[in-house]
Amino acid sequence: MAGRKAKAEELQRGAAVAAILKRRGDALVVTGIGNAVHDVAASGDVAENFYLSGIMGGAAMVGMGLALARPDRRVLVITGDGEMLAGIGSLATIGVEKVPNLAIVVIDNRAYAATGMQATHTARGVDLAGIAKASGFNHAVAVSDAAGLRAVVDDAYEKPGPYFAVLRVKSEGSPRVRVPADGTFTARRFRRALLGDEMNP
């Protein structure tokens, strides 16, 4: 593993996320902090998106809480490699709990794109899909081309979870799009979409 260099990748992050979200149906989406927020919002800012812009490493567990509370809905966590690495221990919890309706998609550009493109550990060969597999995820893949992405587009919604996919994308950030910046608004909009008039307390 040590010293392994990342290969040149073909996937473009925004297009890859758009392809996945195009068939989201009624899936609930949680983003990790950073460029994943913009990738998801660029595909449509809808109430069923929860942009977790506040904390590194928290997205997977927020997704797990949602998935346990709403087993009738697919929950998709879309996050970056840096954010996933910050919450890497959560993969063990999700894996052993076998949450069937939870899918995690990691956009792996091997860098902290939001803060200046500092290299993450995936740039040095850390295998996130391997960690997920060893943690008990039912499916864990890493893809870097169009054929692999096509499989993820289907499997993220159809494979019994927990499902984990790494999208190896070009090492770049994302174009900024307008995203609701107010956390309270985002949370209440999301709850209202899920719970309607039953949202209180």
Partner 1 sequence: MNAPPAPIAAAASRYSPEVAAAIAEECAKAGIELVASLPDDWIAPTIAAFDGDPRFRHVPVNREESAIGLCSGAFLAGTGALALMGASGLMTLVYAITKINYTYEIPVFILITQRGSLDDGAKFHVSNGLYLDQVMRSIDLPNVTIDSRDRLPLIGEAYAHSRKISRPTVAVLSRKLLQGLA
Residues at the interface with partner 1 (CB under 8 A): 30, 50, 52-55, 57-70, 87, 89-90, 92-93, 95-97, 136, 183-184, 186-188, 190-191, 194-195, 198-199, 201
Select 145 or 185, whichever has its Cβ closest to partner 1: 185
Taking the CA atoms of the chain, what radius of gyration do you get in angstroms? 16
Tokens of 117: 């493109």
Rounded to whole angstroms, how far apart are CA atoms 49 and 125? 31
User: Minimum CB separation from partner 1 for residue 148, in Å?
Assistant: 25
* Chain centroid offset of residue 4 CA: 25
> In the complex with partner 1, which residue's Cβ is closer, 61 or 153?
61
Distance, in Å, from the CA atom of 106 to the CA atom of 23, rounded to the nearest integer, reads: 18
**Beta carbon nearer to partner 1, 99 or 149:** 99
Q: Which is nearer to partner 1, 67 or 141 (CB)?
A: 67
Give the shortest CB-170-to-partner 1 separation in angstroms: 29
Given a contact cutoff of 8 angstroms between Cβ atoms, the answer to whether 13 and 39 are in contact is yes
CB atoms within 10 A of CB 34: 23
Give DSSP secondary structure letters for 64-104: HHHHHH-TTS-EEEEEEHHHHHHTTHHHHHHHHHT-TTEEE
Shortest distance, CB of residue 3 to partner 1, whole angstroms? 30
Contact 90, 131 (CB under 8 A): no
Distance of closest approach, residue 105 Cβ to partner 1, in angstroms: 17
Residue 60 CB, nearest distance to partner 1 (Å)? 7
With respect to partner 1, which residue has the nearer C-beta, 124 or 191? Answer: 191
Q: How far is the CB of 87 from partner 1 (least distance, A)?
A: 7
| Cα–Cα distance for residue pair 33/80, rounded to 1 Å | 8
Considering the complex, state which of residue 65 and residue 100 has its C-beta at the smaller distance from partner 1: 65
